[in-house]
Protein backbone atom coordinates (compact mmCIF):
# COMPACT_ATOMS: atom_id res chain seq x y z
CA UNK A 1 0.00 0.00 0.00
CA UNK A 2 1.45 3.39 -0.98
CA UNK A 3 2.52 5.70 1.83
CA UNK A 4 1.31 9.27 1.93
CA UNK A 5 3.45 11.89 3.61
CA UNK A 6 1.83 15.29 3.28
CA UNK A 7 1.31 15.80 -0.47
CA UNK A 8 3.93 13.17 -1.33
CA UNK A 9 2.85 9.64 -2.28
CA UNK A 10 5.60 7.01 -2.07
CA UNK A 11 5.46 3.55 -3.64
CA UNK A 12 7.68 0.66 -2.59
CA UNK A 13 8.99 -2.02 -4.93
CA UNK A 14 6.35 -4.36 -3.47
CA UNK A 15 3.60 -1.82 -4.22
CA UNK A 16 4.68 -1.47 -7.85
CA UNK A 17 5.06 -5.22 -8.23
CA UNK A 18 1.46 -5.74 -7.12
CA UNK A 19 0.04 -2.78 -9.06
CA UNK A 20 1.89 -3.28 -12.36
CA UNK A 21 2.46 -7.02 -12.40
CA UNK A 22 6.18 -6.48 -13.05
CA UNK A 23 8.72 -8.56 -11.17
CA UNK A 24 10.47 -6.98 -8.20
CA UNK A 25 13.81 -7.77 -9.81
CA UNK A 26 12.85 -5.81 -12.94
CA UNK A 27 11.75 -2.81 -10.88
CA UNK A 28 15.03 -2.86 -8.92
CA UNK A 29 16.98 -3.13 -12.17
CA UNK A 30 15.15 -0.08 -13.57
CA UNK A 31 16.01 1.82 -10.39
CA UNK A 32 19.70 0.86 -10.54
CA UNK A 33 19.94 1.73 -14.23
CA UNK A 34 18.17 5.07 -13.73
CA UNK A 35 15.24 4.19 -16.01
CA UNK A 36 12.98 4.74 -13.01
CA UNK A 37 13.89 7.36 -10.43
CA UNK A 38 13.63 6.53 -6.76
CA UNK A 39 15.42 6.79 -3.43
CA UNK A 40 16.63 4.10 -1.12
CA UNK A 41 15.77 4.61 2.53
CA UNK A 42 17.45 1.98 4.66
CA UNK A 43 17.03 -1.23 2.70
CA UNK A 44 13.88 -0.24 0.78
CA UNK A 45 13.44 1.70 -2.44
CA UNK A 46 10.69 4.30 -2.72
CA UNK A 47 9.38 5.85 -5.91
CA UNK A 48 7.25 8.99 -6.02
CA UNK A 49 4.07 9.28 -8.01
CA UNK A 50 5.79 12.03 -10.03
CA UNK A 51 8.64 9.68 -10.95
CA UNK A 52 6.15 7.08 -12.14
CA UNK A 53 4.31 9.69 -14.18
CA UNK A 54 7.61 10.82 -15.75
CA UNK A 55 8.52 7.24 -16.58
CA UNK A 56 5.24 6.55 -18.37
CA UNK A 57 4.62 9.96 -19.93
CA UNK A 58 8.17 10.71 -21.07
CA UNK A 59 9.67 7.39 -22.07
CA UNK A 60 13.28 7.79 -23.03
CA UNK A 61 13.94 7.37 -26.67
CA UNK A 62 14.80 3.75 -26.18
CA UNK A 63 16.51 2.60 -29.35
CA UNK A 64 15.41 -0.82 -30.48
CA UNK A 65 17.56 -3.45 -28.95
CA UNK A 66 20.96 -2.96 -30.40
CA UNK A 67 21.67 -5.75 -32.82
CA UNK A 68 24.85 -6.52 -34.62
CA UNK A 69 23.97 -6.10 -38.26
CA UNK A 70 24.67 -9.03 -40.54
CA UNK A 71 27.69 -7.35 -42.09
CA UNK A 72 29.13 -6.32 -38.72
CA UNK A 73 28.17 -9.59 -37.00
CA UNK A 74 30.25 -11.57 -39.46
CA UNK A 75 33.31 -9.60 -38.36
CA UNK A 76 33.03 -10.65 -34.72
CA UNK A 77 33.25 -13.73 -32.57
CA UNK A 78 31.86 -13.96 -29.06
CA UNK A 79 33.66 -15.58 -26.13
CA UNK A 80 31.48 -16.56 -23.18
CA UNK A 81 33.70 -16.86 -20.12
CA UNK A 82 33.44 -17.16 -16.36
CA UNK A 83 34.09 -13.99 -14.39
CA UNK A 84 35.90 -15.57 -11.45
CA UNK A 85 37.90 -18.59 -10.36
CA UNK A 86 34.76 -20.55 -9.50
CA UNK A 87 33.79 -20.80 -13.17
CA UNK A 88 36.59 -21.64 -15.56
CA UNK A 89 34.39 -22.40 -18.56
CA UNK A 90 35.04 -20.60 -21.83
CA UNK A 91 33.05 -21.12 -24.98
CA UNK A 92 33.53 -19.41 -28.32
CA UNK A 93 30.48 -18.61 -30.45
CA UNK A 94 30.25 -17.44 -34.05
CA UNK A 95 26.93 -15.58 -33.91
CA UNK A 96 24.78 -13.53 -31.57
CA UNK A 97 22.09 -16.22 -31.63
CA UNK A 98 24.57 -18.94 -30.67
CA UNK A 99 25.92 -16.75 -27.87
CA UNK A 100 22.42 -16.11 -26.49
CA UNK A 101 21.73 -19.87 -26.44
CA UNK A 102 25.08 -20.52 -24.75
CA UNK A 103 24.35 -17.98 -22.02
CA UNK A 104 20.85 -19.31 -21.47
CA UNK A 105 22.25 -22.81 -20.96
CA UNK A 106 24.29 -21.64 -17.95
CA UNK A 107 22.91 -22.34 -14.48
CA UNK A 108 23.96 -18.96 -13.04
CA UNK A 109 24.13 -16.31 -15.73
CA UNK A 110 25.63 -13.68 -13.42
CA UNK A 111 28.87 -15.70 -13.28
CA UNK A 112 29.56 -15.09 -16.98
CA UNK A 113 30.60 -12.31 -19.32
CA UNK A 114 30.97 -12.05 -23.08
CA UNK A 115 34.03 -10.72 -24.86
CA UNK A 116 33.20 -9.40 -28.33
CA UNK A 117 36.30 -9.99 -30.45
CA UNK A 118 37.14 -8.54 -33.87
CA UNK A 119 37.95 -11.48 -36.15
CA UNK A 120 40.49 -9.56 -38.24
CA UNK A 121 42.57 -8.02 -35.46
CA UNK A 122 41.75 -10.51 -32.69
CA UNK A 123 41.19 -7.44 -30.51
CA UNK A 124 38.52 -7.41 -27.79
CA UNK A 125 36.11 -4.67 -28.80
CA UNK A 126 33.90 -4.91 -25.73
CA UNK A 127 33.45 -7.04 -22.64
CA UNK A 128 29.90 -7.16 -21.36
CA UNK A 129 28.10 -8.98 -18.54
CA UNK A 130 26.12 -11.97 -19.79
CA UNK A 131 22.83 -10.55 -18.47
CA UNK A 132 23.49 -7.25 -20.29
CA UNK A 133 24.32 -9.17 -23.48
CA UNK A 134 20.93 -10.90 -23.26
CA UNK A 135 19.17 -7.57 -22.63
CA UNK A 136 20.88 -6.06 -25.64
CA UNK A 137 20.60 -8.86 -28.21
CA UNK A 138 17.84 -11.24 -27.13
Domain range summary for the chain, segments of one domain joined by +: 3-57, 70-137
What mean pLDDT comes out for the span 66-79?
62
Q: What is the pLDDT of residues 76-134, one digit of tens each?
A: 999 999 887 777 788 999 988 999 999 999 888 989 999 999 888 888 888 889 999 99
Say whether pTM exceeds 0.85.
no
Q: Which stretch of DSSP H or E encloses residue 10? A: strand 8-12
What is the pLDDT averaged over residues 48-52?
Answer: 90
List, as one string, the DSSP characters of 23-90: -HHHHHHHHHHTSS--EEETTEEEEEHHHHHHHHHS----PSPP---HHHHTTEEEEEEESSTT---E
Burial class (CB in 10 A: 0-12, 13-18, 19+), 3: exposed
Q: Which option is the CATH number for 3-57: 1.10.405, 3.30.70, 1.10.10, 2.160.20?
A: 1.10.10
Predicted pLDDT of residue 67: 42
pLDDT at 16: 93
Amino acid sequence: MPRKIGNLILYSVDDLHKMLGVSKMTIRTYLREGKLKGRKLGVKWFITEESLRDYFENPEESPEKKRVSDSVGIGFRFVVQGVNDLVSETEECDSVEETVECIKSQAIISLFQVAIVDRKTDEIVETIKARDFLDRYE
